[in-house]
Each structure stands twice: as structure tokens, then as C-alpha cells.
Amino acid sequence: MVTSGFVAPEDRDAVTRALRAQLDGLPARSPFYTDLFAQHAITPAALSTLDDLAKFPFTEKQMLRDSQAESPPLGRHAGVGLTEVVRVHASTGTTGKPSWVGVTRRDAAAWTEMVARAFRTMGATREDIVVHGAGLTLFVGGLPIRDALESIGSTLVPIGTGASEKAVLAMETLGVTALHSTPSYVRYLAEYVRGLGRDPREFGLRKVFVGGEPGGGEPAFREYVEREWGAPVTEGLGNADMAPVLFGEAPDSGGMRFTGGRHVVVELIDPDSGEPVEAEPGASGELVYTSVDRECCPLVRFRTRDRVVVTGRATDGAPLIRCVGRTDDMLIVLGVNVFPSAVRDLVQTRHPRTTGAVQIVVPGTGPRVEPPLRVEAEWGDAPGDRDQLRHELEGLIRARLSVRAEVTLVPPGTLERSEMKSRLVRLAG
């Protein structure tokens, strides 16, 4: 089954009908897909069931960049003109040049519905007072999250980034119950509060919602955040080109479930072969999205490069997932796949002997890296013997990730901090 159980059984017929209509109208609206389908000798009529999606070609991120370069500003893949667009966002991934993402009024309403469903799943209610600590400019985790939380009825405090003193003031005076941001900013704000000589737990947060980058599902990071803030963490997962949040984690569920309803079809594929992977517990693969009713960016089989593992199933049988990293961030060391976020999580396990901040230094653009893997990590408030700590971290990385590492310990505050997304890999220089 190509959709791997992500489409609810009761929605399959409706989604199939809507997707057929979307594909039938696509060639007339999108020259990009007229050409792509012709190149692969396929027509919309090839879709009889959702499983037939596997017959259609993938859409790659670079293809969208090329499309926009050829036909600015929105590209040959855009289904409507700019006059129909009510808002423009930009992809903010860790690789490549950002690209524009147009949203029509109907697209925005669908986004709000999907994101609100995800945040309800994550535990947001109309009783919550939420500090929204994510970028409010082009980032899809900014204004669309605001729209969704307001639709739920939550009281929103739109702090954005670069204003941590205002976040502290809001938590002091407004009875804030929840914080939403990237995992990087959750850590940054905790360190900022500690730098004021205060304990983050004194603000009485009851919920921490994170998304926008891997990290929220890393066990050591989650333990650190929950200890620092005294509040449970739930995470969401989305994609700038498709929808801001498409998966949400229910408290104590062990993973994120698909919350995109009838608007998006999700596939799990083998990132190397492109073949479908069944979303059974223990399986891993790359997420692929197809929009069912998108007006401006009606993407078909868009490869997200988000690598996930299936952690189990919800009580209704829906697959639960964790994002372990991006396939285009992955490093290969003597044939072993290494995700930078996994290295960070291992270093985080030694907090407070380490701060948890880490960067991997590579000689070129990768993904292949000759051993040893060069890792810089900050020692923490109570490092103990630093030589012993360094050897311990090298041994931990070798034991858990099966690669030889060379760890360099640096003082706290040395490595780059970010209020948006942390850069875990840098070129040697």
C-alpha cells in the first residue's frame, strides 16, 4: 500500500476522488507538470487508486528551484498567478537557496485547519497562553502557527525571535502556560534565563511545543528540556513546500501521527531505491508528500528528504513516527550513515558535563567523510576530568554509531547558538 496507512480508512475514497480531480486539472494549470508527466509517459488517468501514485515521478527540491529560476517569481509549477496569492513564504531548510512558496486564500484556510489539528493533538487548548517564539517573517512556522493557535482559541503572545527579554517578561506577567518554538530556541531561551541567574522552572510552563527541525524527539534533548522547563515536550513535523505542520505528537504517545486529514497524501519510501516502504513499527524511510487540493503549489510526490522511523501505532492503528534527520544532511563514514542530530543527542546525554552544543567539522561538502569524524563539543558546568570526558564521548559515538570519532572539547559558549535552526555541520577552514 503506497500510502502506508497514513490515510485514514474512512478518508481513502474521498481523498482518491479529490486527488483524481487535482491531477486531471494539473496539466492545464502547471506547465511544469505538463512537461514532467510527458517526460515519464504518464497521464493523470493512470491514477485509479492511491496505490497508483507509485507510478508517478517524484518532484525534487532542485526541480522547484530551477522552475522558479526559469519563470520567476513563483515558478512553472505554480498553479495560479501572483494575483491569486494572499501570502508568500519561503522555504528555510538547512541546505540550498530558499525558494518562494505562494499561498492562496483557500490554501491558507487548509493550512490553518491542518496545523490546528496538529496542535490539538500536541495538547494545545483554548485555555493555553502560548509564547510563540518562532520567526514571524517568511518562516512557515511563524504566521501559520499563529493562525492555527488563534483558531483553537489559545491566547497567543507573538514574541518571534530576537526578543528573549520580551519572552521572559511575558512569562513573568501573563501567566503563560506553553512555549512554542524550534528546539534550538527552547535550548537558547533556557540558557538565556540561566544567564539571568534564574531557573526556567520558576515560570510554571505546563507545555512545550517544538518543531521546524529535528531535535524534539531526541531522548537526551527531550530529557534536558523537560528538566530545564519542568514541562513535557511534544513535537510537530511539517514542510515549507507542502504545509507547516502535518504530523503531531499526542502527549505520552511515543511518536507523531499524521494530522493532515484529506489535504495531503503521505508515502514512506526507501531513500536510495525510491520504492515504497510499509509504515510498520521499526521501519524507516523518507517522507514523500502529494497535495490533494492545493491551488498555488500543487506538488506531486514531493521528496522531503526527512528521514523518519516508525516507532509504533496509535490506539486506532495510525503509524507513529520520529524524524531522525534529513537525508541531505546525512554523512557517510566508511559506509556507515551518520545523522548529525544523533551525534548531538549522544553528547547531550552527558549534560551537565557537556552543554549539549555540538558541531561536526567536515573537510568538504560530503556526504562522504573519511574517519575519524571530527566533533567539537562544549564542556559544561561540571565537566570533571576533561580528558576522561573526551575519551568517553569518543567511545560512546563509536559504540552507538559505529564510527570512529575525534572529539575536541571547547569552552561553554564557543559554538554557534541559533534562535531558529542550529547548524550542526560546518566546513573546515
Q: 220 to each of 99, 207, 224, 276, 416, how far by Cα in Å?
A: 33, 18, 6, 31, 20
Q: How far apart are the first and last CA of the chain?
A: 47
Q: Which amino acid is at 48?
A: S
Residue 4: per-residue pLDDT: 56
Residue 313 near residue 319 (C-beta atoms within 8 A): yes
Residue 95: per-residue pLDDT: 43
**pLDDT tens for each residue of 2-15:** 555 799 889 999 99
Categorise residue 75: left if φ over 0, alpha if ψ from -120 to 50, beta otherwise: left
Residue 93: per-residue pLDDT: 47
Distance CA 241, CA 302 (A): 9
Is residue 336 over pLDDT 80?
no
**pLDDT tens for each residue of 67-112:** 999 999 999 999 999 999 999 998 754 444 678 999 999 999 999 9
Tell me what percent of the residues of the chain surpass a pLDDT of 90.
76
Residue 315: per-residue pLDDT: 93
Residue 209: per-residue pLDDT: 98
Q: How sure is the predictor about 424, in pLDDT bands with cuts at 50, 70 and 90?
A: confident
Strand order through the sheet with 354-362: 405-410, 373-379, 354-362, 425-427
Is residue 329 over pLDDT 90?
no
**pLDDT tens for each residue of 145-198:** 999 999 999 999 999 988 999 999 999 999 999 999 988 899 999 999 999 999
**Mean pLDDT across the chain, nearest whole number?**
92
* pTM score above 0.95: no
Residue 422: per-residue pLDDT: 76
